[in-house]
Amino acid sequence: MNAEMVRPLVSAPIAQDLEVPLPESLHRFGRSTRATVTGPVDGPAVVVLGGISANRLVCGPGGWWPGMVGEEGAVDPRRHRIIGLDFIADESGQAAPSCRDQAAVLCQALDLAGVAQANAIVGASYGGMVALSFGQHFPERVKRIISISAAASAHPAATALRELQRRVVALGMAHGAAAEALSIARGMAMLSYRTREEFDQRFTGGLDGEEALGPTEPGSYLRARGEAFQTVMSPGRFLSLSASIDRHRIDPEAIGLPCLLIGAESDQLVPPSQLEALATALAGPTALRILPSLYGHDMFLKNAAQVAELVRPFLDANP
């Protein structure tokens, strides 16, 4: 491994930051991306992948999945060798990588980390799609798949909503309002990630006053989420990765690895019926768990401790 491609992270001395070169066939998505490797060299390797706004920093301060990853978590850096990855994307927003492309880059990261075969991939949302694609196309590189809130392909209603979001962002980019457009698209997405029941508990509906564009309580929340989103996502990258979600398709009958599928009863983007169909079609031994949750698609983040309790025994099971 090239020493210039690995450097210690200040916040986590046992972690390494890897520069992962992309094959020439993927250079439209850049020349390289980055991955992290955290934990003991001899620990079982576990890849952790999240949604399109997640990154390689899954452990330590600022890690994006507390409750799942961390000391005493289902994925524990004291026991597991944890690999995180920054997804590739076209920053101009013109092209969308496939989940197989992301899986191929993950293979490159595993090579750099000296991991011939990962014990598991734990993927949620977009990361779950990549995990399933990895299981189909690179089955020799992983022992088991844990896929959370991800199906064999995009639901038509979810695709329709994402296309509207992409049109909003493209319109904003064309008219000098890219930041506001991205904020609006994120607000639209949040409405699909969460549930009506949560909004009913948290906010008061309606508009005070006669100003047509006056603030509302739920609207102010969505505006704040949209502004925060801009700190981790550019408009072009959003277009690329949003479209990548809709490119996702796997052949369940081609996946013979042990799989654990987890979903939420209230998920509007990946309804339980899709996970039930996937569980039936997968060729390998499969367990399906559907959890009640107030938080819809965001269940894997908001109810991380409950999800971790399902992941832990599957992760530690003998092959």
Q: Report the catalytic residues.
A: 125, 267, 297
With CA atoms as reference, report the closest residue to 301 among 145, 185, 173, 190: 190
User: Which spans in the chain are helix H?
Assistant: 99-113, 126-137, 156-174, 178-193, 196-202, 217-229, 235-247, 272-281, 299-302, 304-316
Q: Give the neighbor-by-neighbor strand order of the sheet with 81-85.
A: 6-9, 12-21, 32-38, 81-85, 45-49, 120-124, 145-148, 259-264, 286-291
Where do we find the tokens 């099971």? Answer: 317
Copy the structure tokens of residue 239: 């277009």
CA distances (Å), 95 to each of 22, 92, 104, 184, 248, in order?
A: 16, 8, 17, 22, 14
Q: For residue 148, what are the β-bridge partners?
A: 124, 262
What own/partner pairs with CB < 8 Å and gap ≥ 24 does 21-29 have?
21/108, 22/88, 22/105, 22/108, 23/104, 23/108, 26/88, 26/97, 26/101, 26/104, 26/105, 28/90, 28/95, 29/88, 29/89, 29/90, 29/95, 29/97, 29/101, 29/240
Distance CA 231, CA 153 (A): 29
